[in-house]
Structure 1
Amino acid sequence: MIKAEKKDKQKVTDILTDSFFDNRSVNYVIPQDQRKREKIEKLMAYSFDVCHAFGEVYLSDCRRACALVLYPEKKRTTLQSIWWDLQLAATVFGLTRTFRVLNREQLIRKHHPSFPFFYLWFIGVERNNQHAGIGRQLMQELLQLSQQQQKPVYLETSTPENVPWYQQFGFEVYAEESLSYKLYFLRK
């Protein structure tokens, strides 16, 4: 596992845009129009910036998978983070979807613990390289890192088919929420 640098932003953005193009949770906040891919790219670039500033971004050794880890206790409101949020709202969500996003984020935060934790915000593998063990290897390395930090791992998925995959690593579903899709909350 390689710690990504700013120069890796486009690679990470490309992997995540491809991996999450049909994701229910992403499509809940992204308008489904002719600019969908461009908007998902902007969402993933934003997520990279946030995790690079307040967490960590990793690439698999082969650079075909990536993970965005956020440390919520380190997240701060800065002029830069306000600018990122405003850009995202204006160029990706629009006014009505921004309220939808804020409500969903509030719902997610209510299920998070009040103590420091390892928040696996995104993990993705290039579509052509899925089911080849790359994501499994990256997840094992992420779990080793969380153990070294002595922090539990929390994540959400809107893909029911992914729940058993996470459970193979010892994750448990501890909550579910229904939006226009079901959101599963997992922890280890």
Structure 2
Amino acid sequence: MTDPSAPAEDSALARPATGADLPAIADTLADAFTDYPWTRWAVPADGYTERLRALQLYFAERIGLPYGRVWTTADNAAASVWTVPGAEVPAELFTSPELAALYGDRLHAVGRADAVLEAHRPSRPCWFLATVGVRRDRQGEGLGRAVVEPGLRAADAAGAPVFLETATADNVRIYRRLGFEVTAEVALPDGAPTTWCMERTPGST
């Protein structure tokens, strides 16, 4: 993932995504998360690239677009996927056979890690920044910040906090520059990477 706290050259780069954008967004997010510690742990090595792209497409298409928000750039070189208060995601989307097949033999380990993280997630309504990524050959242009800022502004307008989870200490520093603070540093089972839970109160900078 690139640095979403870096200013974009053009503040109008981001736009709401449509269904037509989703294949390119899945390509972008798979590229951005190729070496991310969480996905390297959670996604089977067998067919890793294909599984990672399919997972990104699944969450953007089945959850982000219908039940949350997805922002992208004009050329789909960056994207962010969110869930939002008041839009209840059907529980079966997280337990579907399709999703289970993509996680393969990592499914139960991922489930155990998620159960530990669940205890550290906010109980009150919040915007959840589920994922943000920029193609590796486009990083450093401020595209990450461009696709994150619309969600931060919308959450601020609603008076709602924003929550995220990240599996690298570098990302913790990046998100702190956007007003997030660590609420938990979580050691996870089965060799999963340490994950930081972070929250941003409305109006934080």
TM-score (norm 2): 0.82
Which stretch shifts more, 106-115 or 160-169? 106-115
**Secondary structure, in 3 states, of the residue corresponding to 1:74?**
coil
Q: Is the 8 A contact 1:42 1:88 kept in 2?
A: no
Match of 1:88 in 2: 99
2:194 is aligned with 1:186: no
Match of 2:160 in 1: 151
2:148 is aligned with 1:139: yes
Summarize the Cα distance change of 1:68–1:169 in structure 2 as closer, same or farther, 3 Å threshold.
same
Percent identical = 28
Letter in 1 for 2:51: K
Structure 2: gaps (5+ residues): 1-13, 201-205
CA distance in 2, matches of 1:62, 1:133: 14
Q: 2:130 aligns with which of 104, 109, 121?
A: 121
**What is the CA distance between 1:166 and its match in structure 2?**
0.5
**What is the CA distance between 1:76 and its match in structure 2?**
3.6
**What is the CA distance between 1:186 and its match in structure 2?**
0.7
CA distance in 1, matches of 2:82, 2:136: 21
Q: Is the 8 A contact 2:83 2:127 kept in 1?
A: yes
What count of residue pairs does the alignment treat as equivalent? 183
Match of 2:179 in 1: 170
After superposition, what is the alpha-carbon deviation per residue over 1:134-168, rounded to whole angstroms, capped at 9, x for unaligned? 11232233211211122111001112111111111
Match of 1:29 in 2: 42
1:24-63 paired onto structure 2 within 5 Å:
24-33=37-46, 35-48=47-60, 49-63=62-76
Q: Is the 8 A contact 2:78 2:143 kept in 1?
A: yes
**Secondary structure, in 3 states, of the residue corresponding to 2:130?**
strand
**What is the CA distance between 1:64 and its match in structure 2?**
1.8
CA distance in 2, matches of 1:182, 1:166: 16
Q: Work out which structure has the larger RCO, using CA pairs closer than 8 Å and 6 or more positions apart in sequence.
A: 2
Match of 1:108 in 2: 117
TM-score (norm 1): 0.89
Letter in 2 for 1:175: A
**What is the CA distance between 1:29 and its match in structure 2?**
1.3
Letter in 2 for 1:123: V
CA distance in 1, matches of 2:96, 2:116: 18
After superposition, what is the alpha-carbon deviation per residue over 1:61-81, rounded to whole angstroms, capped at 9, x for unaligned? 4532100001265234377x3
Q: Spell out structure 1 runs of 4+ moving beyond 3 A.
A: none
Over aligned residues, Cα RMSD in angstroms? 1.8
2:106 is aligned with 1:68: no
